[in-house]
A and B are shown apart, each in its own frame.
Chain A
Amino acid sequence: MKGSIIILSFFATGLLLGIFRFFPQEILNYNISFYVLCALMFSVGISIGNDPSAFGQFRNLNPRLIFLPLMTIVGTWLGVIAVSFFLKNRTMADCLAVGSGFGYYSLSSILITQYKGAELGTIALLANIMREVLTLLLAPWMVRYFGKLAPICAGGATTMDTTFPIIVRTSGKDYAIVSIYQGFIMDFTVPFLVTFFCSM
C-alpha cells in the first residue's frame, strides 16, 4: 500500500502544479510523456530480456487465456450498464461508449468529444484515467482476492504500456505475455467499439 500512496502523491502533486500553473507551459507541448513511456518500455524490455526463463512461460501458457480480452469487454459492459440505470441524464449507449475506452483515455475521449460533445468527452477522459489509476493503485489487492488475471482485465487497453509494469510486479513475469496480448487486442478494438456506441 505504501507504493500506491507514493504513486498517488506523484499524481496529486502534478495535478496541483497543473492547476496553479507552477510549471513552464511548454512542457505539455512537447510529447515528453511519450518519450518517458518509451524509456519505460525499454527498461521493462530489459527486465524481461535479462531473465531468459520468462520466455519459457510463453509455451506453457494456457490456451484458455485467449478469452481474456473477451472477459474484459463483457465484464466492463455489464458493470457500466448497471451504472447507466442510475445516471438519468446519460443514455446506456453513452455509458457504453465511455466504458469501451477500457482505460485508453486519450483516444476514447477524443473520439467521444468528436461524436458526442465535450461534456461526455470529459467524462470519458476522467473515467478512463480513473480506470488506469484504479488499476495502478489496487493491482496488489485485485491479485489477492480475484487472482492474477484481475489486474490485466482491470487495466483494459493499457496493459501493454502504462499498467504493464505494475502487472508484471504484482501478477509476476509469467503473465507479461498475457498482459501484452490483452493490451494489443484491446488497443485495436477501442476505436471500433467507441465509434459504434457513439453512433447508436
Chain B
Amino acid sequence: MFIVIACMVAGIVVGYLLRMRRIHFIHRFILILIWLLLFMLGLEVGANETVIRQFGTLGIEAFLLAFAGTLGSVIFAWFLWLTVRTKSVSK
C-alpha cells in the first residue's frame, strides 16, 4: 500500500518538475493502464476454477450485496453533497 502511494508521490514530483511542459499524452496512457489492469483482473478470476464453477448462485448473492452496498453509499454521498454544495453556493 505504501509502495503504491510512494509511486504516486514520485509521479507528482516528476510532474511538478516538468510543469513548464504540459504532458498531454498522460491521460491516454492512464486509460490504457486501466484497460490492462481490468484485463488482468479478468484473467485472475477466470483462472480460479472454484470461483467460476459456483459463479452462478454465488454471483447472484454477490451482485445483490454489491449493488445494495454501492447504492446505499451513493445515496449517503448525495446527502453530504447537498450540504456541501449549498454551503459553497451561499458563500
A45 and B8 in contact (CB under 8 A), knowing A127-B62, A147-B77? yes
A28 and B68 in contact (CB under 8 A), knowing A7-B35, A14-B38, A41-B8? no
Please measure, in the bound complex, the distance between the C-alpha atom of A74 and the C-alpha atom of B71, giving whole angstroms: 11
Binding site for B on A (CB under 8 A): 3, 6-8, 10-21, 23, 25, 27-28, 32-33, 36-52, 62, 64-65, 67-68, 71-80, 82-83, 86-87, 90, 95, 98-99, 102, 118-119, 122-131, 133-136, 142, 146-150, 152-154, 156, 160-162, 165-166, 169, 187
Name A62's closest neighbour in chain B (CB-CB).
Answer: B84
- When the two chains form their complex, are residues B3 and A52 in contact, meaning their CB atoms are under 8 A apart? no
Residues of B close to A136: CB separation below 8 A: 34, 38
Q: How many residues of B contact A (CB 8 A)?
A: 74
- When the two chains form their complex, are residues A123 and B58 in contact, meaning their CB atoms are under 8 A apart? yes
- When the two chains form their complex, are residues A147 and B82 in contact, meaning their CB atoms are under 8 A apart? yes
Contacts A71-B79, A130-B67, A150-B78 supplied; 8 other A-B pairs, CB < 8 Å: A36-B33, A42-B10, A45-B14, A49-B14, A77-B72, A83-B64, A119-B58, A127-B65
Binding site for A on B (CB under 8 A): 1, 3-5, 7-19, 22-23, 26-27, 29-31, 33-48, 50-52, 54-55, 58-59, 61-85, 87-88
Q: List 26 A-B contacts (CB under 8 A).
A: A7-B34, A11-B39, A21-B47, A40-B34, A43-B30, A44-B30, A45-B10, A45-B15, A46-B15, A46-B18, A50-B15, A50-B23, A71-B76, A75-B72, A76-B70, A79-B67, A83-B68, A98-B65, A99-B69, A126-B51, A127-B62, A129-B41, A133-B38, A149-B78, A150-B74, A165-B31
Please measure, in the bound complex, the distance between the C-alpha atom of A41 and the C-alpha atom of B90, giving whole angstroms: 36
From B31, B58, B79, contact of A122 by CB (8 A): B58
A18 and B80 in contact (CB under 8 A), knowing A75-B74, A80-B69, A126-B62? no
Please measure, in the bound complex, the distance between the C-alpha atom of A161 and the C-alpha atom of B16, giving whole angstroms: 20
- When the two chains form their complex, are residues A10 and B44 in contact, meaning their CB atoms are under 8 A apart? no
Q: Which of B46, B62, B69, B77 has the most CB of A within 10 A?
A: B69
Q: How far is the CB of A88 from chain B (nearest CB, A)?
A: 11
- Closest 3 pairs between A and B when the two form their complex, measured CB to CB: A45-B11, A18-B46, A14-B42
